[in-house]
């Protein structure tokens, strides 16, 4: 575990370290760990009882936790799904079905070919990507602030989905540098289990 990340290591440097650490995993290892993470996610009470779940479409070039097995399981459970899309500089939720065609857009992100924005007030769970997470539930993202603004908007609008980060255990640090706009998570799921913060 990387210790004392907020003393002398800035967020930009930490992003590089964590991305390199994640990319150092073999594809087979990432795949196996992603399957383990999927198993924990689909058994979480928040997910089992959810109707509508927001989940990211993983980017393999960034060595993210693969969400494909989670999406398959959620679809088989009959969950309504939405995925992030960027509109007017902000992240919003678009309806997604398992056979929908997708296209690559800015930052390597995928989004549906046909975008239908959903009513986010019905979201029960949001599953987020991250580069690092700490013992307090703070996450380090890619530096664009999309998810922090989304979560802040949810809070201001009284929308309270469970905030669950997906990560490999090697992405954990003791303490991240935190800015006033950083939004904490309720839980992080990794290949060995679930860490809850609330």
Enzyme catalytic residues: 139, 148, 182
- What are the Cα distances from residue 73, in Å, to 63, 68, 99? 21, 9, 14
Q: Extract the tokens encoding 101.
A: 């065609």
Q: String of b and e for 123-148 (b: at least 16 CB within 10 Å)?
A: bbbbbbbbbbbbeebbbbbbeebbbb
Q: Is there a contact between 19 and 55 (Cβ–Cβ < 8 Å)?
A: no
Q: Is there a contact between 63 and 91 (Cβ–Cβ < 8 Å)?
A: no
């Amino acid at each position: 575990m990387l210790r004392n990340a907020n003393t002398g290591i800035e967020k930009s440097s930490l992003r590089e370290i964590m991305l390199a650490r994640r990319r150092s995993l073999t594809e087979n290892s990432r795949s196996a760990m992603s399957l383990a993470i999927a198993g924990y996610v689909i058994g979480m009470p928040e997910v089992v009882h959810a109707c509508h779940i927001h989940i990211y479409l993983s980017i393999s070039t960034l060595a993210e936790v693969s969400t494909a097995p989670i999406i398959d399981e959620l679809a088989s459970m009959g969950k309504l799904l939405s995925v992030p899309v960027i509109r007017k500089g902000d992240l919003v939720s678009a309806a997604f079905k398992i056979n929908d065609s997708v296209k690559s857009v800015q930052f390597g992100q995928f989004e549906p070919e046909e975008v239908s924005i959903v009513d986010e007030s019905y979201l029960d769970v949001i599953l987020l990507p991250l580069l690092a997470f700490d013992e307090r539930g703070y996450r380090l993202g890619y530096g664009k602030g999309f998810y922090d603004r989304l979560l802040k908007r949810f809070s201001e609008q009284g929308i309270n989905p469970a905030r669950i980060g997906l990560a490999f255990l090697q992405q954990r640090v003791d303490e991240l540098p935190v800015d006033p706009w950083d939004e904490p998570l309720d839980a992080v799921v990794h290949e060995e289990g679930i860490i809850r913060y609330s």
